[in-house]
Amino acid sequence: MIRLKALLTILIVSIGIFVGSKVAPEYYAYYRFQNDLENVTMAAAYSSKSEGEIQDSIVVRGRDYGIPLALDQIRVHRVGSEVSIAVEYTVHLDIPIYPFDLKFAPMAKYRRL
């Protein structure tokens, strides 16, 4: 009985480590992308870039983090001295028994002083 419990514990810990090794990089990329998105928003508030140019730069930055983005997933709004950017994307994880999707929605807003 003790060996069965030990094997079950090792199995559960192994599964947790495996799933964590698949999920953690996606969350790390999300947090890095969120930080970059805030920097882009701040720079866009002080520049004269159009909304389309801002969207293009975000698509390129998303690729740098391994995030597949299309232009329709990015919403850029410029009203006066305020710029807001919202992105929605989904990452599919193929875990052998239970494949699932992670949905992310980073957003940044900046108002020029």
Question: What tens digit of pLDDT does each residue of 1-36 get?
Answer: 889 999 999 999 999 999 999 999 999 999 999 999
Q: Domain total for the chain?
A: 1
- What's the full length of the chain, in residues? 113
Q: CA 74, CA 72: separation in Å to the nearest integer?
A: 5
Q: What residue numbers bound the domain in which 80 lies? A: 2-111
Q: CA 81, CA 109: separation in Å to the nearest integer?
A: 11
| pTM for this entry | 0.85
Q: What local confidence, expressed as pLDDT, does residue 48 receive?
A: 87
Q: CA 76, CA 69: separation in Å to the nearest integer?
A: 14
Q: CA 44, CA 53: separation in Å to the nearest integer?
A: 10
Name 83's bridge partners.
78, 110
Q: What percentage of the chain has pLDDT greater than the value 90?
A: 82
Q: What local confidence, expressed as pLDDT, does residue 55 receive?
A: 94
Q: What local confidence, expressed as pLDDT, does residue 68 receive?
A: 86
Instruction: Convert the pLDDT of each residue in 29-63 to its tens digit.
Output: 999 999 999 999 999 999 988 899 999 999 999 99
**Burial code of 11-48, b = ≥16 C-beta within 10 A, e = fewer?**
eeeeeeeeeeeeeeeeeebbeebeebbbebbbebbeee
